[in-house]
């Protein structure tokens, strides 16, 4: 039995943003979502450049180490950002998150950097495959705040690691066995920051990928649509049960009313994070910091 991906992809600017800085790619072997940042369309450039660097992975028969193939493609995209910012200083603040899956039939390799996410629905249970590279996730891991507190923390928009053209930024990568019936969700934070986990899980149990993707976008818009929202829903299926979908490149347009803007995400240097932690520990004490920094 040959396993293939059956997928649906959607992207919407949301109810507040004028432009869409998210980019995506969905094909037979590769699905990926990137969420750009930087302002003045710089974020849109960064996300498109990185997605463009990964896209050739979908065009060739898979051979060799999938993790190394993903790493090489990401390095190429990051180098392209370096070249663009050197040629155009106005783009100097741009960067992008990235979450991607490279599918090889019996296995799937996952990649993540930033706070765009990948989820897996298997046996009716939804799990988050990736971990956010965010300040609030750092606090949760350290035991200073709870996941519930992270949702409303004043520094929840700070992302610690993104692709900015700087060297030495390593994404998190894993390889796992694929099973018929697996359903993956890749999304930008325009979904995960707005829609509760249980609501995402219910939508993920929709019968087909098209209905599921539409339902997820609608949930984000019904939640106020404060940010661009992008989703890819990909099912692992027997090749004999479904025709392969065509790769998706253009965003879906949905007309919606205006809502209140949400805070923009910002990059936070690691050295500044370390300094901040030291100051807080010495000057205020961990107990006060855990209550609300």
CA separation for the pair 193, 87 (Å, rounded): 34
Question: What pLDDT score was predicted for residue 243?
Answer: 46
Q: State how far the Cα of 184 lies from the Cα of 172, in Å rounded to an integer.
A: 17
From first to last of its 293 residues, what are the pLDDT tens digits of the chain? 689 999 999 999 999 998 999 999 999 999 999 999 987 679 999 999 999 999 999 986 667 789 999 999 999 999 999 999 999 988 888 999 999 999 998 999 999 999 999 999 999 999 999 999 999 999 999 999 999 999 999 999 899 999 999 988 899 999 999 999 999 999 999 999 999 999 999 999 998 999 999 999 999 999 999 999 999 999 999 987 554 444 444 333 332 233 333 444 555 444 444 444 343 333 333 333 333 34
Contact 171/114 with Cβ under 8 angstroms? Answer: no
Residue-level pLDDT at 289: 36
Q: Are 170 and 78 in contact (CB under 8 A)?
A: no
Residues in contact with 62: Cβ distance below 8 Å, sequence separation at least 6, in sequence order: 29, 69, 102, 104
- Nearest 5°: the CA angle 9, 82, 24 is 0
Domains of the chain: 3-291 (3.60.40.10)
How far apart (Å, rounded) are the C-alpha atoms in residues 147 and 183? Answer: 24
Q: What is the pLDDT of residue 38?
A: 85
Specify burial of residue 260 (Cβ count, 10 A radius: 0-12, 13-18, 19+).
exposed
């Amino acid at each position: 039995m040959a396993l293939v991906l059956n997928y649906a992809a959607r992207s919407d600017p949301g109810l507040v943003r004028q432009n869409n800085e998210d980019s995506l790619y969905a094909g037979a072997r590769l699905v990926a979502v990137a969420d750009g940042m930087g302002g003045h369309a710089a974020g849109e450039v960064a996300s498109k450049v990185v997605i463009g660097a990964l896209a050739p992975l979908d065009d060739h028969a898979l051979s060799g180490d999938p993790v190394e193939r993903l790493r090489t493609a990401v390095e190429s995209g990051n180098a392209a950002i370096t070249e663009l910012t050197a040629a155009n200083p106005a783009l100097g603040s741009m960067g992008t998150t990235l979450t991607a899956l490279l599918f090889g039939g019996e296995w799937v390799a996952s990649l993540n950097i930033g706070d765009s996410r990948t989820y897996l629905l298997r046996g009716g249970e939804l799990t988050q495959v990736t971990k956010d590279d965010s300040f609030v996730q750092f606090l949760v891991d350290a035991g200073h705040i709870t996941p519930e507190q992270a949702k409303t923390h004043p520094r929840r928009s700070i992302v610690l690691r993104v692709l900015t053209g700087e060297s030495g930024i390593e994404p998190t990568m894993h390889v796992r066995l694929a099973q018929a019936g697996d359903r993956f969700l890749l999304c930008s934070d325009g979904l995960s920051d707005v829609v509760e986990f249980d609501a995402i899980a219910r939508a993920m149990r929709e019968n087909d990928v098209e209905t599921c993707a539409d339902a997820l976008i609608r949930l984000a818009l019904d939640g106020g649509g404060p940010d661009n929202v992008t989703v890819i829903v990909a099912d692992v299926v027997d090749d004999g049960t479904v025709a392969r979908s065509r790769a998706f490149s253009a965003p879906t347009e949905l007309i919606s009313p205006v809502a209140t803007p949400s805070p923009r995400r910002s990059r936070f240097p690691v050295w500044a994070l370390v300094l901040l932690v030291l100051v807080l520990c010495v000057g205020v004490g961990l107990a006060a910091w855990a209550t609300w920094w």
